[in-house]
Amino acid sequence: MIISKTKPIEEILSFLEGKNNLFISGCAQCATVCQAGGEKEILEMKKLLEEAGKMVLNYQVIDPGCNLLQAKKDFKLQKETLEQADAVLSMACGDGTQTLAKLVKIPVYPANNTMFIGEIERVGHYSEMCIACGDCELGWTGGICPITRCAKSLLNGPCGGSRNGKCETNTETECAWIEIYKKLGELGQLSNLKKIRPPKDFSTAVKPRKLIIERS
């Protein structure tokens, strides 16, 4: 899931300086789950904006916010309202915000900071698990990502700074390589660690990337 969190209202209002008639758009999936862009959060944002003297003409929650065709369909239904708006405030992730910006000729401003691709531990608790590097290493590491979960993204770890199973950069964080070692031991795959891995080829993550799936 893409994890995002709401920007400080002061920053949002700085974007909206001189923009008084607003339309708010959220996302029914990731942003809703992490409480940054569902209907509840949109209504809270609407109240804050109106207290600051802004007028919120309407709002919608797109399912999902990053689906260009769905967003285009939903915005078409809001055509008259959007013609009166000075700006759109997006409460989706950065991808959803860019999707909306393709559809209108008024500014689209982000209400959220996009943080990472993460795991939901429980409501309100999220952990970064993947950086979408384009060449997944999980097949030989017991399903634990060394690129994301090791502070140094080491492929032949652990480093010399690990102490008592903790990372030297943050003593509250488990050393990813100790976790990998334990997991491989449970799986009977410790021999995976005998192979020296070459440096990570980050050319697979050169931006911007595109995937087109050809269907027969």
Residue 177 tokens read as 């390589």
Residue 198 tokens read as 């070459």
Q: How many residues does this entry show for the chain?
A: 216
Tell me the angle at which helices 68-77 and 94-101 cross, rounded to the nearest 10 degrees. 60
Q: Specify the 3-state DSSP secondary structure of 190.
A: helix
Residue 216: what pLDDT?
Answer: 61
Do 26 and 61 contact (CB within 8 A), yes or no?
A: yes
Is residue 202 pLDDT above 90, yes or no? no
pLDDT single digits (tens) 17-74: 999 999 999 999 999 999 999 999 999 999 999 999 999 999 999 999 999 999 999 9
Residue 10 tokens read as 């002061």
Q: Given CATH 3.40.50.2300, say whether it is the number of domain 2-115.
A: yes
Say whether pTM exceeds 0.85.
Answer: yes
Cα-Cα-Cα-Cα dihedral sign, residues 117, 154, 139, 122: negative
pLDDT band at 82 (very low <50, low <70, confident <90, very high): very high
Residue 185 CA to residue 181 CA, distance in Å, equals: 6
pLDDT higher at 210 or 144:
144
Domain boundaries, given as residue ranges, for the chain? 2-115, 134-205
